[in-house]
Amino acid sequence: MYQIQNIEETNVLKGNEKRKASCKKIGGEKKKIGHKREKEFLKQYNINELNCPIEYGAKSDTSIDVLHPISNILKEQLNVLGFNVSNKSGDNIQFTLGQIPELKDVEIEHFNSIFIHNLFNKYKYLKKNNSDKPADILAYKEIDRWIFFNMDDIINFIATKCIWRKLDTGRIKGDFNDNTKKGISQYITYEYRPTHKSYFLGLNGGKGKKFIELLMNKTYGINYYCDSIKIDI
C-alpha cells in the first residue's frame, strides 16, 4: 500500500514538473517571438534603434523615430503626444504577470472609472506611466499590417466601457458590449496562475485578438490607424 501511494505521489510530482517545464518552454518561445516582433517594428519605424539592447522591465518595448513620416500621421489621426510603443500580436495579450496589490481582496464596487484609470496607468501594467519610457502607443501586428492605437484611448475605453464581475473563485472578469448574438462578451481576465505563482491580468483564451477587433469596431470601438508591413526593408 505504501509503495503504491509512493509511486502515485512520484507520478504526480513528475506530472507537475512536466507542466512547469512546458510552461517555461512556452514562455521562452513567446519571449523570442516578442523580441523578433520588436526588431521587425524598429526595422520599419526606427532603424536607428535596431541594434540597441532589448528593453526589459516595466517600460515600453520600442519607439518610433519622430522624423519617420508616420509620426505626423499618428499625431493627426490618434492625437498621440509621444512615440514610445507597446508591441503586441497573437490571440492573447498579457498586460502583466506578477503581484498586483491593487486587486488583492478588492471588492467589485471599487471598480469605478478612477480606479481603472489609475490601475492601467500604473508602472507595471498597461501605460507604465511612472517608468522612464511610458507607452504612448499600442501597435498590434497582424500578418500584413500594424494597427496603431493611442494608449490613453484604450485605457479610457476600458475604464468607461468595461463591465466588471468577480467570481466565487476570486477571478475577475471584464465584459464589453459587442456585436455578438448575446450582445456582450467576456474579454479581460484577472486570475492566479499556480504554474507561475503569479497573478495574470490580460486577455487570454483568444480574447486578445477579439479585443483588438472590438477596438476597431465602428459601433463600439475607438480611433486607430493601419500601416502595411514592409517586408522588403
> pLDDT tens across 13-52, in order?
555 455 444 434 434 455 566 578 899 999 999 999 887 7
| Confidence at 156, pLDDT banded by 50, 70, 90 | very high
What pLDDT sits at residue 230?
A: 87
Q: Is the pLDDT of residue 102 over 70?
A: yes
Distance from the first to the final alpha carbon of the chain? 67
What angle do helix axes 113-120 and 151-161 make, rounded to 10 degrees? 150
What pLDDT sits at residue 34?
A: 53
Give the number of other CB atoms < 10 A from CB of residue 81: 9
For residues 196 and 23, the answer to whether their CB atoms sit within 8 Å is yes
Give the number of other CB atoms < 10 A from CB of residue 3: 7
Please compute, for residue 27, the number of CA atoms within 13 A of its CA located in the half-sphere on the CB side: 10
> pLDDT tens across 201-210, in order?
999 999 999 9
Q: What is the sign, positive or negative, of the torsion defined by CA atoms of 171, 177, 182, 187? A: negative
| Confidence at 168, pLDDT banded by 50, 70, 90 | very high
What pTM was estimated for this model as a whole?
Answer: 0.83
> pLDDT tens across 121-146, in order?
985 678 887 777 899 999 999 999 99
How far apart CA 188 and CA 92 sit, in angstroms, is 10
What pLDDT sits at residue 117?
A: 94
How far apart CA 161 and CA 168 sit, in angstroms, is 23
The arithmetic mean of pLDDT across residues 51-74, rounded, is 84
Q: Three-state DSSP class for 128?
A: coil
Phi and psi at 207, nearest 5°, equal: -80, -15
| Confidence at 80, pLDDT banded by 50, 70, 90 | very high
For residues 70 and 140, the answer to whether their CB atoms sit within 8 Å is no
Residue in the block written with cell 477571478? 171
